[in-house]
Amino acid sequence: MGGNNRKYSCPDVGGHFGEFGGRYVSETLMPALIELQRAYREASEDKTFYEEIEYYLKQYVGRPTPLYFARAMTESLGGAKIYLKREDLAHTGAHKINNTISQAILCERMGKDRIIAETGAGQHGVATATVAALMNKECVIYMGEEDTKRQELNVFRMKLLGAEVRPVVSGTKTLKDAMNEAMRDWITNVRNTFYIIGSVAGPHPYPMMVRDFQSVIGHEAMEQILAVEGKLPDTLVACVGGGSNAMGLFFPFIEESEVRKIGVEAAGHGLESDLHSATITAGSVGVLHGSKTYLLQDENGQVKGAHSVAAGLDYPGVGPEHSYFQDTEKVEYVSVTDKEAISAFSFLSEVEGIIPALETSHAIAHVRKIAPSMSPEQTIVICLSGRGDKDIHTASSFM
Amino acid sequence: MGGNNRKYSCPDVGGHFGEFGGRYVSETLMPALIELQRAYREASEDKTFYEEIEYYLKQYVGRPTPLYFARAMTESLGGAKIYLKREDLAHTGAHKINNTISQAILCERMGKDRIIAETGAGQHGVATATVAALMNKECVIYMGEEDTKRQELNVFRMKLLGAEVRPVVSGTKTLKDAMNEAMRDWITNVRNTFYIIGSVAGPHPYPMMVRDFQSVIGHEAMEQILAVEGKLPDTLVACVGGGSNAMGLFFPFIEESEVRKIGVEAAGHGLESDLHSATITAGSVGVLHGSKTYLLQDENGQVKGAHSVAAGLDYPGVGPEHSYFQDTEKVEYVSVTDKEAISAFSFLSEVEGIIPALETSHAIAHVRKIAPSMSPEQTIVICLSGRGDKDIHTASSFM
Amino acid sequence: MGRIKEKFRELQEKNKAALICYITAGDPDIEFTEQIINCMEASGVDMVEIGIPFSDPMADGPVIQAASERALKNSTSVSDVLSLVSRIRSSSDIPVILFGYYNPFFSYGTERFAHDAREAGADGVLVVDLPPEEAGELGVHIEREGLDRIFLLAPTSTEERIEMVLENASGFIYMVSVTGVTGARPDMNYDLEDLVGRIKSRSDVPVGIGFGVSSARQATAIASFSDAVIVGSALIRIIEDGGTQRQEVLENISSFTKEISAACLR
Amino acid sequence: MGRIKEKFRELQEKNKAALICYITAGDPDIEFTEQIINCMEASGVDMVEIGIPFSDPMADGPVIQAASERALKNSTSVSDVLSLVSRIRSSSDIPVILFGYYNPFFSYGTERFAHDAREAGADGVLVVDLPPEEAGELGVHIEREGLDRIFLLAPTSTEERIEMVLENASGFIYMVSVTGVTGARPDMNYDLEDLVGRIKSRSDVPVGIGFGVSSARQATAIASFSDAVIVGSALIRIIEDGGTQRQEVLENISSFTKEISAACLR
Ligand SMILES: Cc1ncc(COP(=O)(O)O)c(C=O)c1O
Ligand SMILES: Cc1ncc(COP(=O)(O)O)c(C=O)c1O
């Protein structure tokens, strides 16, 4: 998993992707990160670890997810052939579970009996509460108070799954602050607690580990597209919040430089406004939540609140490896506005009968821009990172 | 599909399963039913029809769904090994799509450009609106006004998918009346309209056709259980509203008399109360919605309102083939109360990290009663007919 | 000869199409239904169709649905309707057709129903959701009791189906004017004439036309090529509009049916 | 010799543990911070840790989080803090440690920061989220400017990590008393003594203990086996509780720090 790129060798042993990444954490956590890194390395050398992950991905999560040829969308845009990698069909409705199930199995190996996580849209929280239920672990989920309101359904789901949801009232009361709070919990309860981070963010080894666990998306997609098209796709498109679904799709293709990779950030009300989450496109390098990466920050190095209609993209940082991909031009990063995303949300629903998450709708929106000018021989694979049931109230208030 | 039972030969050409079934409809609809029956027969003889269905089931719906060994549930109950057939992972979140995608393909072959459907829980409505969007058909969904309230999320989903949702205010304002209204629409617009019925109910050829389309559940389950257990399951359990998910699971096993089959009806507030939907367990033979079957009715032959906490079970009739199975003892029918179902809803969520639909929770509840007294060598397959996201508000108000 | 056949013969001599009026029994109570029927007969209505209310009137529009609901509020049953027929029959020879959905008849018992209906003095039975394919069970008893079996035909009916219905029908054929549910309609499809012609070329069973007739103009047009004009929702609407003003309702029904009856004269 | 080292030497002679007090700069404004520091020095505080507020104080409990938020309301920046240090330094020789999270330093520019901090008269730098593994970039400049590099050690720190920290640290070691975030705690874990012993057996860099110290009783206990008692949240709480009553706050701080300072005498 994730290890098939011979030439590409990031991160280094300290978790650095070029200048990005690392472990910018309080001393209290360093031993825990080192322990985790060691446990992950040992597990990686153990065939039964991957067998267990594969078992749950297949039997519980429902993998492989289809690579669906979106005929109606393709015809409607009149250009490249569009394929949707259907992470919306994974158990709990998004790609997040690929990672949480794998981390939970690692947690079990490490003998920790308590799981914590931060969540924005609630998808990662639900995916974490789900695996905690499955593995019979105590579970606490931190969620910005703002987000508990706009993603109420997911709060109910987490509680039903037996998790305690702790609303976070500090700072901007969104994902960023939920992550601070989860870190504080971890600092306090580090001995018995496993922190399941939900994206390719945070201190090493999380960005690497989550990348590896999500790479199943790209591995499957590669095999599937080769089976139907006989060649690699021309373009991969995925939305980027922390960047885990994009990383999962892109990473197995990272050395395939002829495959164009586009990460789509949330431009919110527009890049010129201060209300967006376009970290790479409009941010600058800094350190947050344990790693060096692109950030939204003011001139004093204070982290700014992000904005996106998609709660799962509403984060002022981004996984450090994406920052590295930006600087090494392995991936292009663009952004689309709330408005464009909402329009794409309706578009896919009406055209294909698939309601995408608002996060995912950002990727769809960008494809609406680029597909028409591509040729029908070309193919685009979109990571359909999640389903939009959770967003229907939000979206309908805009429509 | 559905045709592998040599000995079992129901229905007859008029759609009768013993004394049950048939076509009790107004003359206006008879030609349409005959046309549909002919089109279905012709399609059944055409390999490309099944190829197209298979294509969409695999690429769009996400089949095969896993047959998941529920280790934690099994351990918690301490008896038979329990497997869950994961229809909750199908696109739109329930088994309903197996049928709607297949009927929509038939609709396309018949050249109709308008699709209608009735819905109770909204799952069939969503599944219909979904395939109508995919096939680019005009779509009208009838839904009891009561149900539009308790399943509001699904109403939003249908609208987003481009369907018109017409709240039905006549009669009990639930599924039964939605079906009346859909029939009236069909009577009026029969020439250009395809009526997608959502269960193994209604006039011939619907019960047969929906059975055949849903049999994919049982066919897959049979192959899957043979692969892991090397023998047929001891017991199959499914909830019964109209009866389509139960039929889909049971039918491929119908000649396997050593496989016990249990259909679980909704006992609502209890069979002794008048508030239940236990049509077979507590009803009597009558004619409703085009077929002869068990019904909830008063001494004058007036159909009674049903009750269940699960909107999708809240129906005073049942598919006629189930009535036949009852009288021929091919299937056992039992019932569980609202309370038991809600408790099972929490139970599965907490134990397995899978939130089942309230409908499905009835099947889970019954397994909680029977599994402990079975031996660990025995296996139970439950049809996990749908996910419970839609029910979280309802359930939490009871918890 | 049954009363229905007799009536058609009698009207043929007068060169008049039969006016058949439908009302739902028990709307709003069975006593008033009886008064209405007496009033209709006095105003020139030739036959009555008495509807047995049903909880799920799948083929009816909102007007007759509402009538059913009102009738079911006081639990109007098959027995109640049969008693009503007896009372009418004690003073009148007007042909009576019992009209309804199958389940209440089935629940009453098909054999018992046919027997009791004949005893009460009914003349024909029309079950909306019982096409010839399913009609055997009830039909055999109806026939044995000498009652007429009335069937529907629709604009969608194929030649094959017309054939099948004609093989089974007696009394008259109820030709549904539209693809649609019951309900008064301002416009009607006069292509019906062709369809009626096709039926008449194969059988001499009378053909009546219903579903949507609400004006004298429509009645005149229909009467010109068919044997009966059937009016339902338009009458129910009068009952509904009148509410508790029963005298007024009877007067309105009287003047309405008189006008339509006159229009039925060819 | 740097001011920090000098101060420890001086206190050793007095057989007193150093009292190091933390406050967040700019809470609620930078002028008041200056007054507090002057007041603390006058009341027997030996060194001050000036916190540079950060939007995401991941290792802090609610009290210091709230202080940061108040300080950020008026955009207290690294520059503001450096000016504050200059002003203090113009009249005092109290050792000043700059304390914070990495991003504001990084944003200011590491080389520029080290230079300006030395110019302003700061003595040491402690970056909470900069373990030795990541400390190189800033550390090289800090060292070049002759400032002390202060690191944290925690109850979770392994032998290896103690080794690594000791290799890089100067000034003193900030020993975190608990696995947890900052915040006053009624009870503390006195097993720390063992840990401190392990550090002292390898190095003679002084060891201070913080996170949770809020009473003279605790201070006395800590002073008995370590070189410094570090107090933070307990002071911030006084500022917070005092609100706009600044004179009262200063008086309370004065009496509180006097009491703790006395407790630091061995
Ligand atoms: C469906 C979906 N897609 C994307 C994201 C963004 O996360 P990431 O960028 O890590 O994939 C989220 C986060 O909640 C999500 O729920
Ligand atoms: C998840 C689920 N299960 C079961 C049912 C009941 O239908 P049936 O008995 O036809 O499977 C429904 C109906 O909406 C449903 O949504």
| Chain A residues within an 8 Å CB radius of D128 | 26
The residue-averaged pLDDT of B242-256 equals 98
- Chains with 3 or more CB pairs closer than 8 angstroms to B? A, C
Residue A261: DSSP 8-state: E
Distance separating alpha carbons of residues B58 and B399, to the nearest angstrom: 37
Contacts of D263 (CB under 8 A, 6+ apart): D216, D217, D219, D220, D223, D229
pLDDT in tens, B337-385: 999 999 999 999 999 999 999 999 999 999 999 999 999 999 999 999 9
Angle between helices A338-352 and B123-134 (to 10 degrees): 90
Backbone angles phi, psi at D176, to 5 degrees: -80, 125
pLDDT given at position C1: 67
pLDDT of B1 strictly over 50:
no
Residue holding tokens 């259980």? B225
**What CA–CA distances, in Å, run from A38 to A41, B12, B107, B372, D236?**
5, 67, 58, 42, 39
CATH number of the domain within which C32 lies: 3.20.20.70
Distance separating alpha carbons of residues A383 and A246, to the nearest angstrom: 7
Give the DSSP H or E segment for C80.
helix C78-89
- Chains with 3 or more CB pairs closer than 8 angstroms to D? A
Q: How many residues does chain B have?
A: 399
Q: Are strands A193-195 and A235-239 parallel, antiparallel or unpaired?
A: unpaired
Q: Do A352 and B395 touch (CB under 8 A)?
A: no
ipTM of predicted assembly, 2 dp: 0.94
Nearest residue by C-alpha to atom 1 in ligand 2: B386
Order the strands of the A164-168 sheet from edge to edge: A164-168, A138-144, A114-119, A193-195
Q: Do A59 and B65 touch (CB under 8 A)?
A: no
pLDDT in tens, B19-29: 999 999 999 99
The residue-averaged pLDDT of A105-112 equals 97
Chain C (78-97) residues lying within 8 Å, Cβ to Cβ, of chain B? 78
Nearest to A187 among D56, D105, D181 (CB): D181
Confidence band for C186, pLDDT divided at 50, 70 and 90:
low
Contacts of B9 (CB under 8 A, 6+ apart): none
Nearest to A68 among B59, B160, B389 (CB): B59
pLDDT given at position C177: 87
* Other CB atoms within 10 A of residue D112 CB: 12
Contacts of D244 (CB under 8 A, 6+ apart): none
Whether C49 is catalytic is yes
Q: Is the CB of A121 under 6 A from ligand 1?
A: yes
Q: Do B24 and C102 touch (CB under 8 A)?
A: yes
Name the CA radius of gyration of chain B, rounded.
19
Q: Do B23 and C128 touch (CB under 8 A)?
A: no
Nearest to D119 by CA among D86, D78, D158: D86
Whether chain B has a CB inside 8 Å of the CB on C150: the answer is: no
Nearest residue by C-alpha to atom 14 in ligand 2: B312
pLDDT of B34 strictly over 90:
yes
Q: Which residue of C has its CA nearest to B24?
A: C129
The average confidence (pLDDT) of chain A is 95
Nearest residue by C-alpha to atom 15 in ligand 1: A312
Give me the number of domains chain C comprises: 1
Q: Do D154 and A28 touch (CB under 8 A)?
A: yes
The average confidence (pLDDT) of chain B is 95
Burial of D145 (0-12, 13-18, 19+ CB in 10 A): middle
Q: Which residue of B has its CA nearest to C159?
A: B31
Q: Which residue of B has its CA nearest to A62?
A: B66
Range of the domain at C186: 3-263
| Chain C residues within an 8 Å CB radius of B183 | 58-59
Backbone angles phi, psi at A6, to 5 degrees: -65, -45
List C27, C46, C49, C227, catalytic entry: C49
pLDDT in tens, A16-72: 999 999 999 999 999 999 999 999 999 999 999 999 999 999 999 999 999 999 999
The residue-averaged pLDDT of B112-137 equals 96
Q: Do B301 and C57 touch (CB under 8 A)?
A: no
pLDDT in tens, A201-249: 999 999 999 999 999 999 999 999 999 999 999 999 999 999 999 999 9
Nearest to C139 by CA among C183, C102, C185, C108: C102
Taking 3-state DSSP, the helix, strand and coil percentages for chain B, each rounded to the nearest 5, stand at 50, 20, 30
Residue A58: DSSP 8-state: I
Whether chain B has a CB inside 8 Å of the CB on C108: the answer is: yes
pLDDT given at position D189: 64
pLDDT exceeding 70 applies to what percent of chain D?
Answer: 97
Whether B contacts A, i.e. 3 or more CB pairs less than 8 A apart, is: yes
Copy the structure tokens of residue A374.
């591509």
Copy the structure tokens of residue A245.
């679904």
Q: Do C131 and B23 touch (CB under 8 A)?
A: yes
Nearest residue by C-alpha to atom 1 in ligand 1: A386
Q: Is the CB of A123 under 6 A from ligand 1?
A: yes
**What CA–CA distances, in Å, run from B53 to A179, B63, B103, B223?**
45, 11, 9, 19
Copy the structure tokens of residue D139.
């550390």
**What CA–CA distances, in Å, run from C86 to B26, C115, C119?**
28, 13, 8
Whether A contacts D, i.e. 3 or more CB pairs less than 8 A apart, is: yes
Contacts of A343 (CB under 8 A, 6+ apart): A365
pLDDT exceeding 70 applies to what percent of chain A?
Answer: 98
Q: Which amino acid is at C41?
A: E
Residue C41: DSSP 8-state: H
Q: Is the CB of A277 under 6 A from ligand 1?
A: no
Copy the structure tokens of residue C13.
């001599």
The residue-averaged pLDDT of C129-137 equals 95
In terms of pLDDT, which residue wins out, C186 or D200?
Answer: D200
* Atom number, ligand 2, closest to the C-alpha of residue B246: 11
| Chain A residues within an 8 Å CB radius of B361 | none
Determine which of C132-146, D130-144, D192-206 has the lowest per-residue pLDDT on average: D192-206
Whether chain B has a CB inside 8 Å of the CB on C75: the answer is: yes
pLDDT given at position B226: 98
Query: CB-hemisphere CA count at 13 Å for B145?
Result: 6
pLDDT in tens, B51-79: 999 999 999 999 999 999 999 999 999 99
